[in-house]
């Protein structure tokens, strides 16, 4: 059975933040969870590697934003990666 | 106590290939940040940098010498030659070679040669050039200066990331004061704009995509720069006896460590370094007219540095002109403090403060006078230059007008 995106993100946050996964809710902010900025950078890097996506640099605000904000960004990035890019018209 | 003065300065940066042109551009607030050339723009989120442009190594070095010189050592040599020329010193006289130190800061040393070695090692036939070690080693700029001038006193590199220059200059100050040498060639050099390092900075998510906007509400982070600045430091009586032109008195230095976080800056650590610099220089806080701030334009540095300045200076903080010239020459890491000392010396000698360029709107968290966008004439009898490195390593220099 495949894990949901939410579960996978929660696991990465729990592992790199050194926190109990049961304490994570979409409403919690990374700050509430005790995730410092260096851990946040590492979490984003791990998420990018795990899903093969690139997250935007500053939106949402990973220092103060919620886990839900992070999840939204991850889902958007996954969707963007899955949508085939419109091919450029070939030169005549 | 033996006093120390500055009798020569040289620089190379994105702003220009000598100290006068670097200073002129700082004063004009003309940013040299532009599209990155050393790295393919399409692999970068933030494809901008403050690179040294129009630089021809063969105009400065022959082939044989060049083979031994990483870009970082070339920059150190180019700026040292300018500084020594200006000082008028002749190292062949009066045993001066033995009484001179060379102390040069760099954060990453021969990064370009290191990248080239990696490219050959992992991407080509696995053979690495035999001069890689002598080019890559972080002490190479210091060695090359000592060889250039036949200087046989103490010579070494100082490494403290973005505070390397200031730590190096502080060390040179103390060696002259302490009497172990009469002269020092000191400053910093950096040539850090490689694929590996730009990607590593990108991964930390601290690079701005637009430009560098220190202390301003719209700041997005730092922009990498490169270059070098080297100074001739000299014991005051030694300089006076030979009738040297004194650019500034190097009055003092203050150093501290945050001993807390590897990346987050600490107000207490910064304030300690500033206080120690004032005490070491025996300068009253009220005598400081200009502070060249560390001012990286990261979200955290600028408010923390502003609070540290306010903590030390109290109400007088409002009357000090504070600017970050990183807006125009980028963050040259281990060369940053040395390039910024050019700005502080310029402010003393021309009684004009270089602006914080690229400034749009003030940030309520940063409430000092940052001299936005336009240089200002004002009285500057003494100035500070702040450098705060990752790892919480802080070094602040204090200079005052030559009498």
**pLDDT tens, position by position, B143-191:** 999 999 999 999 999 999 999 999 999 999 999 999 999 999 999 999 9
Contact check, Cβ <8 Å, B45/A57:
yes
Mean pLDDT of B310-326: 98
Nearest Cβ partner for B262 among A38, A45, A57: A38
Contact check, Cβ <8 Å, B263/A44:
no
Identify the contact set of chain A against chain B, taking CB-CB distances under 8 A: 36-38, 41, 44-45, 57-58, 62
Per-residue pLDDT band for A39 (boundaries 50, 70, 90) equals confident
Which of B192, B216, B331, B366 is the catalytic position? B331
**Closest residue of chain A to B46, computed from CA coordinates:** A57
Of the residues A35, A36, A37, A60, the best mutation for testing chain B's interface (the one with the most B CB atoms within 10 Å of its CB) is: A37
Contact check, Cβ <8 Å, B204/A41:
yes
Mean pLDDT of B11-40: 98
Query: Is B366 one of the annotated active-site residues of the chain?
Result: no
Contact check, Cβ <8 Å, B263/A57:
no
Supply the pLDDT for residue A48: 92
Share of chain B above pLDDT 70, in %: 100
Inform me whether the pLDDT recorded for A1 exceeds 70: no
Inform me whether the pLDDT recorded for A90 exceeds 50: no
Per-residue pLDDT band for A58 (boundaries 50, 70, 90) equals low
Supply the pLDDT for residue A61: 67
Supply the pLDDT for residue A60: 54
pTM above 0.80, yes or no: yes
Mean pLDDT of the residues in chain B: 97
The DSSP bridge partners found for residue B386 are B396
Instruction: Quick: pLDDT tens for B64-123.
Output: 999 999 999 999 999 999 999 999 999 999 899 999 999 999 999 999 999 999 999 999
What residues of chain B lie within 8 A of the CB of A44, using their CB?
205
Instruction: Quick: pLDDT tens for B274-287.
Output: 999 999 999 999 99
Mean pLDDT of the residues in chain A: 84
What residues of chain B lie within 8 A of the CB of A45, using their CB?
203
Q: Compare A38 and B383 and report the one with higher pLDDT.
A: B383
Inform me whether the pLDDT recorded for B137 exceeds 80: yes
Inform me whether the pLDDT recorded for B52 exceeds 70: yes
Q: Compare B57 and A90 and report the one with higher pLDDT.
A: B57
Inform me whether the pLDDT recorded for A63 exceeds 70: no
Euclidean distance between CA atoms B192 and B106, whole angstroms: 10
Supply the pLDDT for residue A3: 84
């Amino acid at each position: 059975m495949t894990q949901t995106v939410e579960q996978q993100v929660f696991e990465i946050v729990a592992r790199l933040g050194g926190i109990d996964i049961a304490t994570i809710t979409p409403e919690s902010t990374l700050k509430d969870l005790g995730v410092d900025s260096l851990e946040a950078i590492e979490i984003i890097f791990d998420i990018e590697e795990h899903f093969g996506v690139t997250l935007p640099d500053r939106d949402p605000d990973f220092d103060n934003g919620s886990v839900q904000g992070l999840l939204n960004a991850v889902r958007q990035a996954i969707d963007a990666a899955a949508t085939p890019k419109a091919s450029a018209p070939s030169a005549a | 106590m033996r006093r120390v003065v500055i009798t020569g300065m040289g620089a190379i940066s994105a702003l220009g290939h000598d100290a006068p042109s670097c200073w002129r551009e700082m004063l004009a607030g003309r940013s040299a940040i532009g599209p990155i050339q050393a790295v393919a723009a399409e692999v970068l989120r933030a494809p901008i940098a403050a690179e040294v442009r129009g630089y021809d190594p063969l105009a400065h070095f022959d082939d044989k010498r060049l083979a031994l010189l990483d870009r970082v050592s070339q920059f150190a040599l180019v700026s040292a030659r300018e500084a020594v020329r200006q000082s008028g010193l002749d190292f062949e006289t009066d045993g001066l070679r033995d009484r001179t130190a060379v102390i040069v800061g760099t954060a990453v040393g021969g990064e370009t040669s290191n990248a080239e070695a990696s490219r050959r090692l992992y991407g080509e036939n696995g053979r690495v050039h035999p001069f890689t070690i002598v080019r890559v080693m972080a002490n190479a700029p210091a060695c090359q200066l000592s060889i250039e001038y036949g200087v046989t006193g103490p010579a070494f590199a100082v490494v403290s990331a973005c505070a390397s220059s200031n730590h190096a200059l502080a060390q040179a100050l103390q060696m002259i004061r302490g009497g172990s040498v009469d002269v020092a060639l000191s400053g910093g050099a950096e040539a850090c704009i490689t694929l590996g390092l730009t990607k590593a900075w990108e991964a930390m998510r601290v690079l701005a995509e637009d430009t560098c906007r220190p202390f301003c509400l719209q700041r997005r982070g730092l922009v990498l720069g490169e270059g070098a600045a080297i100074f001739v430091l000299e014991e005051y009586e030694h300089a006076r006896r030979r009738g040297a032109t004194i650019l500034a008195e190097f009055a003092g230095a203050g150093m501290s460590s945050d001993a807390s976080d590897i990346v987050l800056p600490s107000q207490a650590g910064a304030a300690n370094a500033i206080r120690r610099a004032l005490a070491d220089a025996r300068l009253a806080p009220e005598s400081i007219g200009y502070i060249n701030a560390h001012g990286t334009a990261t979200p955290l540095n600028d408010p923390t540095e502003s609070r540290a300045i306010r903590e030390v200076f109290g109400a007088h903080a409002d009357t000090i002109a504070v600017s970050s010239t990183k807006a125009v020459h980028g963050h040259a890491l281990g060369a940053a403090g040395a390039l910024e000392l050019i700005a502080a010396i310029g402010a003393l000698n021309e009684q004009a403060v270089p602006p914080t360029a690229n400034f749009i709107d003030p940030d309520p968290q940063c409430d000092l006078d940052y001299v936005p966008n336009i240089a200002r004439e004002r009285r500057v009898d003494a100035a500070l230059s702040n450098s705060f490195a990752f790892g919480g390593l802080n070094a602040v220099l204090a200079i005052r007008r030559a009498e």
